[in-house]
A = this chain, B = another copy of it.
Amino acid sequence: MAVRLDEIVARFGGTILDSTGVPVGAGDTPLITIHRIAPLDSAGPGDLAFLANPKYRQQLATTRASAVIIAPTVDHCPVPAIVVPQPYLYFARVAQWMNPPPPVVAGCHVSAVVEGEVDPTASVGANTWIGSGARVGAGTVIGANCSIGNNVQIGEGVRLFPNVSIYAGCVIGARTTIHSSAVIGGDGFGYAPDIDRSWFKIPQIGRVLIGDDVEIGAATTIDRGAMLDTVIEDGVKIDNLVQIAHNVRIGAHSAIAGCTGIAGSTTIGKRCTLAGASMISGHLTICDDVIVSAGTLIAKSIAKAGMYSGGTPFLEHSDWLKNFSKLRHLDAMADKIRALEKRLADLEKKSS
């Protein structure tokens, strides 16, 4: 693909500056041709780079990119620039436009086993199974070796990569993407203790309802509800190896990074961000606009928007041994401080 800067600006807005910082008008020619999007520090001729994080501003001086997307606050760019208020979002839009998904090859591969109903504009890959009563919407692409259970409803423009499993009865909204080895609708982890101390399984008869424009990462697991449904609202983005237990609800446009687990019946608000390896206990309510730091265990509900953390710092091992062993004595240390305060007060009184 080859596009000129003025074609980009005509489509996405922004102002073009030449390498001396002078605005370039629509009539000025010839303009730089872009073949690729690339990071500022590794871009070369033909590449369009971007500067979104002020931390990388010094890379601008030495970039070999043909042009850079910058914010108006950047005072000097040694190569031609597109000036826009949100360079990162602008970069994303240009990148999507320059890297469209491969065209959909409509039809079901001859090796696929299709018992349900697939829209004629959809694509079903080799050796995939689609159960009876399942429905696959227009323009949806299902990769190889997927297993789509009975009565699953998949919307339009959905993309399932290979080896995805969706259990019976689940619902996948439009334009949602699910990556390989993900499992949607497995049984929740629900058992009643029996009299002999074995576990008696509680049948998991709810579904998973996934909204529109959701993305679900590789090997992520989302359990079906026990009696009611597990719900992932519109626009939620979930990374790889995330566990979402039964009856969880994730509010619209929340983002959940890799290795995170959310225990049963917890509700996460809208526009929350859970950083990697965070752990959310069950039966909690997290309000909208909460940010949880990496490696944080959330064991109580959160009713106030903001950022919450609980991870521990790391140390050289010998320092760690000395310091973290004291965690066992924090209560005794607090007692000693109280005792010292009392004895000191007595002594102060005596000596005054």
Contact = CB atoms under 8 A, between A and B. Distances in A.
A144 to B, nearest CB: 4
Interface in A295-334: 295-300, 306-317, 319-331, 333-334
Interface in A85-122: 86, 88-89, 91-93, 95-96, 99, 109, 111, 113
A102 to B, nearest CB: 8
Nearest to A257: B189
A180 to B, nearest CB: 4
Interface stretch (A13-21, A23-31, A70-78, A213-221): A213-221
A301 to B, nearest CB: 12
A115 to B, nearest CB: 9
A311 B261 CA distance: 15
B261 A277 contact: yes
A167 B179 CA distance: 10
B163 A165 contact: yes
B203 A99 contact: yes
Range of interface residues on A (Cβ < 8 Å): 35 or more
Interface string A323-352: 111111111011011001101100110110
22 contacts: A42-B228, A89-B193, A99-B203, A109-B113, A111-B111, A113-B126, A144-B147, A179-B186, A180-B186, A181-B183, A181-B221, A199-B237, A217-B221, A241-B241, A245-B258, A295-B297, A309-B320, A310-B312, A330-B330, A343-B344, A344-B344, A344-B347
A341 B323 CA distance: 20
A293 B318 CA distance: 12
A263 interface: yes
Q: Which 9 A-B pairs have the closest CB atoms?
A: A147-B162, A310-B314, A165-B180, A129-B144, A183-B218, A326-B330, A309-B320, A307-B317, A259-B261
